[in-house]
Structure 1
Amino acid sequence: MLHPSRRALLSALPLLAAPATLRAQATGRTLRAVVPFPPGGGVDVFARPFAVALSAALGQPVVIENIGGASSRIGNAAVARAAGDGATLLVTNDTLAAVEALPAPGSSPVLPQLAPVLLAAGSPHVIVTHPKSGLRTIADYAARVRDPARRPNIALPGLGTAHHFASALFDQAVGGRAEPVAYRGGGPAIADLLAGTVDVSLVTLGMVVPHIREGRLVGLAVTSATRAAAVPDVPTVAETVAPGFDVTTWMGVLAPATTPPATLAHLHAAGRTALEDATLRERLASLGFEPAGAGPEEFAALLRTTVARFASVVPAAGIRAEEV
């Protein structure tokens, strides 16, 4: 597994501040929430409704800025360089841990340059295919993965991302290998899958729920230990081809490391308040996200654990930093 227990990930703490208190502290200026991927991917799908609720909690505008490239490294660096004045946040997923586990040659670790604010939500990934691919079940896909003569390709939101690691873990679990095809984010990957130019994709569930429900894509399996309420007819990898398989992703919020502790606490409280918003919770549930709300210490511990676990996958998976 690449995460702590589901209960630990999704545990909620008492709210730290009431909305009125948060609005009283608002500066009135626009807060920039950087998503380090192109529009349309799983993080973007989470971040946009979250930003609306966060804006209401803070009483100030929150705008999403997509800075994609290099498996999130460019956006991560933009936030790390920003002033620690509470006006810039990073909204990302466990690809942050993946790039830390697989540093680019000559690069410096990015986590020391960022301060955890909020572990916001958890979600399974899903392995999806096009209705005309000939793959009807996850067993069909696993059989292809094990057959070098019919090796499938898999569209991924970048090499060295959390999705790449999840795909590599699936390959190890079933005893084969799919051919990764890297894209600059989940949106472009799914666009090609919808066009039928690739065999399958592995992405965060939230970005393809409408496609699965409306039959444009076929959900072969979710990667979590239990089925996702958003797509209850899609089986798990664990119940079909790889008993015990359990890989989930998380969404988190970070700030520049120079941000003062009081500002970090204020932003965490606002994030917790946003996650209590009924409209946001309904939207997240419909997309397969489960709100979390854990604080900076818990989030920092999860980051360390995830980095270590991803790093342990690198040698067996043959993932090389120079290819990312």
Structure 2
Amino acid sequence: MLHVLRATGLAVLLAVAGASAVAQQAYPNRPVRLIVPFAPGGFTDVVARILGQKMSVALGQQFIVENKAGAGSTIGSDFVAKAPPDGYTLLMVSSTHVISPWIYSNLPYDPIKSFTVVGKLVDSPYVLLVHPKVPARNVQEFIAAAKAQPGTLHYASSGNGSAQHLMGGLFVAMTGAPLKHVPYRGSSGAANDLVAGVVESSFAGVPNALSQVPQGRLRALAVTTSKRAPQLPDVPTMQEAGVPGYDASVWLALLAPAGTPPDIVRRLNSEIAALMQAPDTRKALLDAGVEPTPSTPQEMSAYMTQELARWGKVVKDANIKLE
């Protein structure tokens, strides 16, 4: 009888272990929604579509990119914060995720506590781009031109509270250049009006520079990071261009709703890390103007907390408010 009980108990344990293994293997067993809280065609959207296509192949289920833009990325972020924590609704965020809380009052979610971090994806500088009608050939001439005619030079961004807005606000605060901010509903609109000469400048992603600068449609004056971008080796850093202490990058990360099971997070993180090492993925991302910098969930969680505090100080020091 004791042998029978032991055998039965062992069978139950094996069945439970087997069910757990099957459950882990089963994810994902239906399409996954990858929410981009920005308009199509922008920096985050481009990377999301590269990652979505690669993840679809790697995991055998479609990763469908959905754009839910508006209010400095808070609409899409709130949608994912309230989604079931089952791994089938994910959020690709940028630095804007930790900027918005300082710009928008009464957010319906907590940028840290409402999400489970899957991991960091990429880093990239922004580029100070100007329309050719602006006579400035470098940053110092651009600052001088802005000061000579206050209020006549504008910088476009993808919206109030966006990373582009903060990059420009930081530049204005550090240089005293009286640039006027012009928010758009997405980076594509800002980029189009910059090329058309409707606005004179923008702090834009490297892909915008790569698609417009070589043809002479725009002029690149500086990158925002402390080291030059490999895709734009001839463009100086902001510090090299005479703005000491200016150092800012934009990053992208993948989040899930708070409470997402750890085994799903580990699966996603490990697949992303493997994809980022693959030469074809790496090339696609570098061609898109970003550098793969995957991390563990724990590393990105700590970094996001640091970035939340850092950008809060920038918003306060630069006196950035919604227009």
**TM-score, normalized by length of structure 2?**
0.87
Figure out how many residues of one structure are paired with residues of the other and give that number: 302
CA distance in 2, matches of 1:222, 1:90: 27
Superposed, 1:141-220 pairs within 5 Å as 141-147=142-148, 149=150, 151-220=152-221
Superposed, 1:1-324 pairs within 5 Å as 24-105=25-106, 107-147=108-148, 149=150, 151-320=152-321, 323=322
Report the AA paired with residue 126 of structure 1. Answer: V
The answer to which structure, 1 or 2, has the higher relative contact order (CA under 8 A, 6+ apart) is 1
Instruction: Using the TM superposition, give the Cα deviation of residue 34 of structure 1 relative to its aligned residue in structure 2, in angstroms.
Output: 0.6
| TM-superposition CA deviations, 1:30-51 (whole Å, max 9, x none) | 1111110001111112111121
Moved more, 153-162 or 212-221: 212-221
Instruction: Using the TM superposition, give the Cα deviation of residue 294 of structure 1 relative to its aligned residue in structure 2, in angstroms.
Output: 0.5
Instruction: Using the TM superposition, give the Cα deviation of residue 111 of structure 1 relative to its aligned residue in structure 2, in angstroms.
Output: 2.6
Cα distance, 1:148–1:196 mapped onto 2, change above 3 Å: closer
The percent of aligned pairs where both chains have the same amino acid is 34
**Which consecutive residues of structure 1, in runs of 5 or more, have no partner in the other structure?**
1-20
Q: Which has the larger radius of gyration?
A: 2
**Which consecutive residues of structure 2, in runs of 5 or more, have no partner in the other structure?**
1-21
CA distance in 1, matches of 2:160, 2:149: 21
Instruction: Using the TM superposition, give the Cα deviation of residue 150 of structure 1 relative to its aligned residue in structure 2, in angstroms.
Output: 5.3
CA distance in 2, matches of 1:57, 1:26: 12
Report the AA paired with residue 181 of structure 1. Answer: V
Report the AA paired with residue 296 of structure 1. Answer: P
Report the AA paired with residue 50 of structure 1. Answer: L
CA distance in 2, matches of 1:161, 1:88: 23
Instruction: Using the TM superposition, give the Cα deviation of residue 109 of structure 1 relative to its aligned residue in structure 2, in angstroms.
Output: 2.5
Report the AA paired with residue 198 of structure 1. Answer: V
Cα distance, 1:106–1:215 mapped onto 2, change above 3 Å: closer
Moved more, 269-278 or 79-88: 269-278
CA distance in 1, matches of 2:293, 2:196: 35
Find the residue that maps to 2:227 and give its secondary structure: coil
| TM-superposition CA deviations, 1:217-246 (whole Å, max 9, x none) | 211111111111111122211101212321
Instruction: Using the TM superposition, give the Cα deviation of residue 192 of structure 1 relative to its aligned residue in structure 2, in angstroms.
Output: 0.6
On the 8 A contact 2:128/2:202 being kept in 1, the answer is: yes
Moved more, 202-211 or 29-38: 202-211
Instruction: Using the TM superposition, give the Cα deviation of residue 181 of structure 1 relative to its aligned residue in structure 2, in angstroms.
Output: 0.4
On the 8 A contact 2:138/2:241 being kept in 1, the answer is: no
On the 8 A contact 2:151/2:179 being kept in 1, the answer is: no
Find the residue that maps to 1:265 and give its secondary structure: helix
CA RMSD in angstroms comes to 2.1
CA distance in 2, matches of 1:184, 1:132: 24
Instruction: Using the TM superposition, give the Cα deviation of residue 172 of structure 1 relative to its aligned residue in structure 2, in angstroms.
Output: 2.2
Moved more, 61-70 or 143-152: 143-152
Instruction: Using the TM superposition, give the Cα deviation of residue 146 of structure 1 relative to its aligned residue in structure 2, in angstroms.
Output: 3.5
Cα distance, 1:306–1:106 mapped onto 2, change above 3 Å: closer
**TM-score, normalized by length of structure 1?**
0.87
| TM-superposition CA deviations, 1:171-224 (whole Å, max 9, x none) | 222233311100111111001111110010112223431212222221111111
Report the AA paired with residue 250 of structure 1. Answer: W
Moved more, 192-201 or 54-63: 54-63
